[in-house]
Structure formats: structure tokens, C-alpha cells
Structure 1
Amino acid sequence: MHHAPTRTARSRLLLITAGIAASAIALAGCSGSGGGESDASGDKTTIRFLYATGDETWNSVVDEVVSAFNAQSDTTEVKLDPLPAGSDYATALKTVDATGNWPAVVDMRDTLTYVNAGKLAGIPEEVTDLLEPDAYAAAEDGKVYTVPYSALNGELGMNIIYNKDYFEEHDLEVPETYDDFIDLLKAIKDNGDVPLATAAAEVWPSDQLWKQLAAPVFAEYSDKGGFWNAAAAGDASMEDLKAPLEELKSIVDQYVLPGWQSTADAQTTTLLVNDQAVMATSSAGLGRLMDINKVDPDFNAGLFIVPDEDGKINVLKNSVVGDTAGGLAISAQAADDKDEYASAVEFLKYFYSVDAANLMEKNGWISPNILKSDDVKRNDSIPGAEDFFGLLENPNLVWYENAPSFSTFSSVNTFFRQSRIEMQDGQTTIDETIAKVQAELEAQVAAAG
């Protein structure tokens, strides 16, 4: 696959900013106020659904679920507002907020920020009653503002996809410790092949390798409120992440396919099936396995998570409340229009139906934890799926928590992602990266008050 010339982080940021601005203009042009309007026949209320693209499986799930909903609804038409891949979603939400043109249903980030600003409406019990009780939680005011768009398997989908046939041919095994993982990378390179493909063109996929390497450090703070809250309180610092940053830099320099700076997340599937790399990072779990099978049905894919030095598989647990609690939300702007709000509720009720869950599973998405989950047809036919479900049964699996409680975390996270990419690219040193991210963290914690 041809890779475009490596761009600097500054040029990437300019492109992202331009994309966000264009998206905001497009969103503003969808409707004059909140987005609720009647169609040509006057019989249906039209609402908008803003969601993050980039993950091909999620894109197909949204498209199929919305199409199926529209086909069966006599009162509502949902129109999609996909945010273009490459845009920084958290920043884009700020732009949407600045335009005053909120969609009715939002694939939410930075929930606490917008709850505090009065931008989200409470989700009614007729929706939450369709979910398992531990799949959502109320905010301090007693209202539920987000509901999950997938099963609560945390970041189990943050893993390494690999070519099983290559492993078998070269007598390679899935690593049981971190040292095993490094030895695996070395062995593949010694064979004259590229060990790993990864992506950073969209910024967020840079988490895919990083979080697996940093998980052991994050897990140490799980019982102390999480690393980011400890750092905000001064009980931890960016210096504590120096070792995984050094590991990241070493792996990128020695074992990652060149061109990662301009590689989009979806491209790693093609790189893998075309034998340009033996492994690839992913955050899509079953969805990436499904994508690979669509591109090449004969490709024998498997997955694993990079273990720590003791063999533990540390995985971030879902947060159902707090600043990092993603999910689907209804905007306060939609709640000001009774028809638009009713349509948003109608759509969410369908989203948590057995019919919608079956569509999701068919497309390689693990559906949300609904009460009627026993009626859902699980998709275990995807090649490699046994590896994913096997992780849930692995005795070395350790769940950890790391949900920031300060409202400005998204700014820290975006800055840290950009800074890591610059470090990986050799534009800054690890010590320089640590210093400037620490300064940004302290500034944002102070801004949060």
C-alpha cells in the first residue's frame, strides 16, 4: 500500500481543525435550529444523530440500525450526521456547541462537561428500563444522561490482530509475558518481515498500542481513583509513564511499518491481509476480525492483548458515569421540542430492542447489555472470534478503573495524544514530552477548578 509522505504534527492538527470547522458548517446547514423538522409529507419528525466515524464496523452498525428504524417508524425519520474520520471528536463537540445547533441524539464524549453546562437532557425510564441495571448510572443530580452503544467489555477490543498462518508456519506463539512480546517482534523482524502495522492519521488510533503498554501503570492506581485522578491530585505524575513511553518509542522505531503517521485506522486491515505486516493494532475487537473476513475470507486472523511482565492482561473497565463515560445522549435542545424529544426516545427504545441487537451482532458489533439479552443471536461465526471471547475467560485478565473526574480531561487527552505522536516521530524527546504534558495537565486541572 502506498503511504502519503509523513506529515508533521502541526500540519495534521491544521487538517483536523479544518475538518472540524467544515463539519460544523455542514451540521449548521442541516436545519435552522435544533434539527427537528417534518418531512415532505408532514407525517414524520426528522431528527439528527451525530456520531464518530473511523471504525468501519461502527459505521455499518449505525447505518443498518438507523435504516431499519426508519423503515418501521411511522412518526420519525433519523438522519445521520457522521463526523468525518480524522476529526478530533471531543473538539468537534465543542464546535457543535458553539454553533448552537445540537442534534437530537449524540454519540457522547466528555459527558460531565456538557451535563454541567446544561446541554444534555435526562434519559427517561422507558429507555433505561430496557437495559441491565449495571449498564448505566445516574449523575449526581439523579438523572441518567448517557446509555451504552455497545456491551460493557471495557477496552477488551484494544488488542493486536495477527496472521495465524504466519505464526504456525514460523513456529511462533501468542506472547504470555511482555518479554515474550518483544521476542516475538524480534523474531518476525529476523525473518525479514515487518512485525507490526499501526495508525495515527486520525490521532485517536495512537491509543491502540500505547494503552496496552501503559496498562500496567494505570492498573496500579485502580484502587486509588485511577491514574488521572491521582495525577490531578498530585499523587502521580507524567514521570510515572516514562517507562511505557520508552517502550512505545522503541517499538515504533524498530518494529512498526513506516508510514504509520499517515495511516488511517481502517487501512491496517488492508496492510495485514496484503502481508505488509504480520500484526496490526486495533481497537475494534470483533469488528476488526469481521472487516478482515470481508476483505479476505481465507485470511486466518487471531487476536491477543499485550501482557505485562508478570503475564497479567490489564484491561480498562467501562465507566458508566464521569467525564469519560461515553454513550448515546439526548440533547437539551431536542428536549425543548416535544416532538423531537419523543422521536429521540423512540429511536433509543428501538436501539435497545432485540431486533437492533441482532443487526449489531450480525455486523460484528457486540450489542449493549439489554434485559432481553438471552433472545439475542450472538455472532460466533467470525473467524478469530474464539480468541476474543477467550479473553473474557482468561484467568490472567485483570480489570482496572481509570475514569477522570475533572471536566477538562478531554483537553489533556487530546494534547497527550498529539504530544505522543510528535515524540514517536522524533520531533520531541521523551523528557520534553513528559514535561509539556505535565504542564498541560496542571493547567487543565486548575481550569477545572
Structure 2
Amino acid sequence: MYNATTRRASGRLGLAVAGLTIGGLALAGCSGGGADPATEKTEIRFLYATGDETWNSVVDSLVETFNEQSETTTVALDPLPAGTDYPTALKTVDATGSWPAIVDMRDTLTYASAGKLAPIPTEVTDLLEPSAFAAAEDGNVYTVPYSALNGELGLNIIYNRDYFEDHDLEVPETYDDFIALLDAIKANGDVPLATAAAEIWPSDQLWKPLAAPTFAKYSNDGGFWNVAAEGGASMEDLREPLERLQNIMDNYVLEGWQSTADAQTTTLLVNGQAVMATSSAGIGRLMDIQKVDPDFNAGLFIIPDDDGKINVLKNSVVGDTAGGLAISSQAAADKKEYASAVEFLKYFYSVDAANLMEEKGWISPNILASDEVKRNTEIPGAEDYFALLDNPNLVWYENSPTMTTFSAFGTFFRQARVEMQDGQTTLDQMIAKTQAEFDAQVAAAG
């Protein structure tokens, strides 16, 4: 999500806080007092990226419920900044040599290759649908999903359904329809769209759906970024979606987006300051809206392409871009910590845990016993989300970069887009400097 000078400052602050958090928890883990060894529980840490209110409440509830029922284990939460700060925080964790037992992973293959992660045992993976995980080249499974594998279906537009009905507006079926919708709302004297950039990662929420048709063209060839790394594509190929992004930002977005936090878009939508808002939280954002205003009639859609296709990223479950929960090799070296980590993951993929997630507004992971899970369809707008999964125009595509330095480029690319949107650089300058940075990162990756 967010903005230039503020981003750099907050990144340094987030890193400093991460260091303090890691150190503090490490010291706390050493304290045991005079507890009876026969009854003392093993404490393990769960390092995760904080997110929207829904995800944070899901993690809190899962851990609290698990701790109450486990006779052997206590899980201590180790939250770190989300978005672009999180991969940096993981590097700090690695540098300190203080790895938690359970880790919400980024740059998975990089850390697995470095021996930082332990294989996930079959007693955990046997609880999941076979398509929900995959082995790395060495035959081991290193991550298991923390949510349903619905790709980036959560990157969508949340809208005021009552406003649409009152003004005879409809969900767009093509990109031209989307622009016409923006024009119609603006002609009514209202602001069509709220978005955020107080941090740089929410800038993906509008960009990715606009770029999806271009990225999808390279899906069968290894993905856009891998083709670009081999010289078969370039930043110039992204000119059209970047032009569309700039047009929307210049003409239809609520002013003040540069300093707006992602969570604030809920308030802007509910208060009528904008008719629509970007989101990456999926049903979680709908749950947030319901908490703020239970009577707000929300809906959601994904921006379609010129031909009406809904292109949604669904990366491989293996690879550096694949997220998921992992067990650190440091924890695996301790039999008690490893057993506790496995115990927690087995609970995480239980029906009870899945039902708790769904109740809180989270889409639970793809477990084998999914037919026993009670889906939460009471949230206004949730039916739109589930309908997208069955939409005949839905097109899944892959775009999994294998470059080990891609996370650094990803941060640079987001920042460069925000600077372009803000008028600090031109589109041509943005393309030129991101191409130069990409080439440098490709060279650095070898």
C-alpha cells in the first residue's frame, strides 16, 4: 500500500519495531519461572503479517481457542507489519537467528533453499485437498495455505448497491462499461471511487485488475515477469494498463488518496464520500463494512477486460510468490517445538477451525472435510464473491516470478507507480526507470 517519503520513513520504523518485537518475544520465551516441568506447556511463536481487521481477528480467535484446548502447547502471536514491510521483516528475523516455530512465509523457495524451513509432515498435508499444496523440487512440502486458494479474487471493487439501484446503474460487463459507470457517477455530482496509498501495497488493488489482461497473455509461457527476465517482454508492454490507471486516478478517484490508509476506504464508502472503493480483502472487507454499518447494502465486482473476461491471478502453490504457513527448521531441531507446531497446524486445518474462520468472515483453506464447513453467506455482498467462482467469464492465469530479487523490484515498481499517479514523474519516465531497475535486478539474480 502507499506514498514516497512517508513510505521510506515508515519502512524504517516498521523494521525497527520488528527488531524490538522479535527481541522482546525471544526474551519472553526464555522466562519460565519455577513452573512444574511435568505440567508446563511448550510455548511456540507464530509470526504473521497483520492485515485488515477481519484477518487479525481470525488469527486472534484461532490462537485463543487453540490455547484453551491444548494440553501441551501455548501459541504466542508475533505480528509484524504487512505489505512491503513484511519481506523486510522476515530478513530481519533471519539475521537475528530467532525464527518462530510457525511462519507466514514470503520468498518461500529462497528460505527453503537456504535450509531455514522444515518439511511439512503428511499428518498435516493429509488434511488438505491435494490441489491445495505441492512439493518443491526436492520432494518436500514447505508451505500450506492460510486461506482458500481463490487466487486474487479478493482484489475487487466494493460498491454501494443501493446507490446503483437508485440511479439505475449496473455492474459493468466490459472495461468500456466500467468507464461509462465512472462517468455516470461523476455526472451525478458524486465521487466514483476511493482508493488508498498511505502505504504503497494498496496501490495494487486498482493496478492488478487493470494489468490482468496483459499479464494473462503470458500465463502459458511462464508469466509476464519471467518472460521479461528472458528479454521476451518489457515494461513498454505495460503502457496500456498504466495509461488506464493514470486516467482513472486523474479523473475519478477521491482526492486525498495519497494519505489515505487502506482501512479508511471502508469509512469513506459507508459515509457516502465515494460510491465505490478498491479492496484486496475480499469478504473480509465486506465484514468490516457490516461492523461499521450493518444496514449498508454492499456489493462487489471485478473490473472486466475489453471482451468481458474476468482475469484473476492464481499462482502456483509452490514458488517464491506462493504464500502459506511454514515450520522453521530452527523449531524442527527441538522435538517439543516441532510437535507443538504440528499440533497447531493440525488444528488450523480442522473443521472447527474452518468454521471459526468462516464465522469471522474469512474464507477457510481447502480442507478435505470441506463439506462439513458452514459457509458464512449472511454478510451483505458475499453472494457476489461466491458467484465469481462460478462465473463463466472467469479466467485464471499465472504470473509467478522466479527471480530471487523480485520482492525488491516489486516494492520499487509500486513506488514508481504511485509517483506517476501523483504527478511526480511522467508515464515515460516511470517506464524507463522501472525497466532499468528490472534489468539491474535480473543481473543481480544471475
TM over 0.5: yes
SS at match of 1:161: strand
1:227 aligns with 2:224: yes
Answer whether contact 1:228 1:402 (CA < 8 A) is retained: yes
CA distance in 2, matches of 1:32, 1:294: 37
Using the TM superposition, give the Cα deviation of residue 31 of structure 1 relative to its aligned residue in structure 2, in angstroms.
1.2
1:12 aligns with 2:1: no
Q: 1:411 to 1:239 in 2, by over 3 A?
A: same
SS at match of 2:418: helix
Using the TM superposition, give the Cα deviation of residue 86 of structure 1 relative to its aligned residue in structure 2, in angstroms.
6.7
Using the TM superposition, give the Cα deviation of residue 357 of structure 1 relative to its aligned residue in structure 2, in angstroms.
0.2
CA distance in 2, matches of 1:96, 1:430: 37
Answer whether contact 1:152 1:318 (CA < 8 A) is retained: no
Matches within 5 A, 1:311-350: 311-350=308-347
CA RMSD of aligned residues (A): 1.6
Q: CA deviation digits over 1:36-93, x for unaligned, max 9? A: 8758634111111111113221111111111110010011111111113576211111
CA distance in 2, matches of 1:285, 1:442: 34
Letter in 2 for 1:18: L
Answer whether contact 1:39 1:46 (CA < 8 A) is retained: no
- Tell me the TM-score normalized by structure 1: 0.96
CA distance in 2, matches of 1:86, 1:411: 12
SS at match of 2:273: coil
Answer whether contact 2:192 2:275 (CA < 8 A) is retained: yes
Answer whether contact 1:153 1:318 (CA < 8 A) is retained: no
Letter in 2 for 1:163: N
CA distance in 1, matches of 2:30, 2:243: 50
Aligned twin of 1:153: 150
1:97 aligns with 2:94: yes
Count of aligned positions: 442
Q: CA deviation digits over 1:298-337, x for unaligned, max 9? A: 1000000000011110001132001101000111111121
Using the TM superposition, give the Cα deviation of residue 30 of structure 1 relative to its aligned residue in structure 2, in angstroms.
0.9
Q: Which runs of 5+ in 2 are unaligned?
A: none
Aligned twin of 2:167: 170
Aligned twin of 1:305: 302
Q: CA deviation digits over 1:11-36, x for unaligned, max 9? A: 32122222122212221221159x58
Q: CA deviation digits over 1:323-375, x for unaligned, max 9? A: 10100011111112111111111110100000000000001111000011111
CA distance in 1, matches of 2:311, 2:84: 29
* Identity across matched positions, percent: 76
CA distance in 2, matches of 1:381, 1:316: 27
CA distance in 2, matches of 1:434, 1:37: 53
Aligned twin of 2:362: 365
Aligned twin of 2:177: 180
Answer whether contact 1:37 1:46 (CA < 8 A) is retained: no
Letter in 1 for 2:23: A
Using the TM superposition, give the Cα deviation of residue 202 of structure 1 relative to its aligned residue in structure 2, in angstroms.
2.6
Aligned twin of 1:4: none
Q: 1:427 to 1:133 in 2, by over 3 A?
A: same
Using the TM superposition, give the Cα deviation of residue 429 of structure 1 relative to its aligned residue in structure 2, in angstroms.
1.2
- Aligned equivalent of 1:271, options 255, 268, 271: 268
SS at match of 1:30: helix
Q: Which moved more, 1:272-281 or 1:195-204?
A: 195-204
Q: Which moved more, 1:41-50 or 1:162-171?
A: 41-50
Answer whether contact 1:286 1:388 (CA < 8 A) is retained: yes
CA distance in 1, matches of 2:30, 2:348: 19
Q: Which moved more, 1:255-264 or 1:83-92?
A: 83-92
Letter in 1 for 2:9: L
CA distance in 2, matches of 1:190, 1:274: 20
Answer whether contact 1:238 1:434 (CA < 8 A) is retained: yes
- Aligned equivalent of 2:399, options 381, 398, 402: 402
- Aligned equivalent of 1:206, options 190, 203, 206: 203
SS at match of 1:172: coil
SS at match of 2:64: helix
Q: Which moved more, 1:256-265 or 1:167-176?
A: 256-265
Q: CA deviation digits over 1:414-447, x for unaligned, max 9? A: 1111111111111111111111111121121222
Q: Which runs of 5+ in 1 are unaligned?
A: 1-6
SS at match of 2:308: coil
Aligned twin of 1:3: none
Using the TM superposition, give the Cα deviation of residue 134 of structure 1 relative to its aligned residue in structure 2, in angstroms.
0.8
Using the TM superposition, give the Cα deviation of residue 386 of structure 1 relative to its aligned residue in structure 2, in angstroms.
1.1
Q: 1:386 to 1:11 in 2, by over 3 A?
A: closer
Letter in 1 for 2:59: V
CA distance in 1, matches of 2:261, 2:399: 27
1:414 aligns with 2:404: no
Answer whether contact 2:225 2:399 (CA < 8 A) is retained: yes
Q: 1:359 to 1:332 in 2, by over 3 A?
A: same
CA distance in 1, matches of 2:90, 2:396: 29
- Tell me the TM-score normalized by structure 2: 0.96
CA distance in 2, matches of 1:395, 1:245: 27
Aligned twin of 1:255: 252
